[in-house]
């Protein structure tokens, strides 16, 4: 089990991205650096930032949920 499954099913957290995942984020990071158009690089950078922010928020939500189980 990973963060995406447990944070969603247990803590009720939902990522902003429709298809979050570590492999996808690597593609977005690549696009943020190497996409031909600046607007595409900027969009990919934003997507990576939001994905990473959501991972941090999901971890916090999971922690709160686990502590509430006492």
Instruction: List C-alpha distances in Å: 52 to 42, 43, 63, 69.
Output: 15, 14, 17, 26
**Each residue's pLDDT tens digit, 18-60:** 999 999 999 999 999 999 999 999 999 999 999 999 999 999 9
Q: Which residue has the tokens 């158009």?
A: 37
pLDDT score recorded for residue 63: 97
pLDDT score recorded for residue 67: 96
Q: Where are the domains of the chain?
A: 3-68
Spatial contact of 62 and 7, defined as CB atoms under 8 Å apart: yes
pLDDT at residue 70 tops 90: no
DSSP H stretches of helix in 1-70: 3-9, 22-34, 38-68
Phi first, then psi: what are they for 59, rounded to 5°? -60, -40
pLDDT score recorded for residue 49: 97
């Amino acid at each position: 089990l990973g963060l995406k499954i447990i944070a969603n099913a247990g803590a009720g957290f939902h990522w902003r991205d429709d298809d979050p995942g570590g492999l996808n984020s690597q593609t977005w990071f690549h696009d943020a650096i190497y996409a031909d158009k600046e607007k595409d690089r900027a969009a990919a950078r934003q997507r990576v930032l939001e994905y990473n922010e959501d991972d941090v928020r999901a971890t916090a939500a999971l922690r709160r949920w686990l502590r509430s189980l006492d």
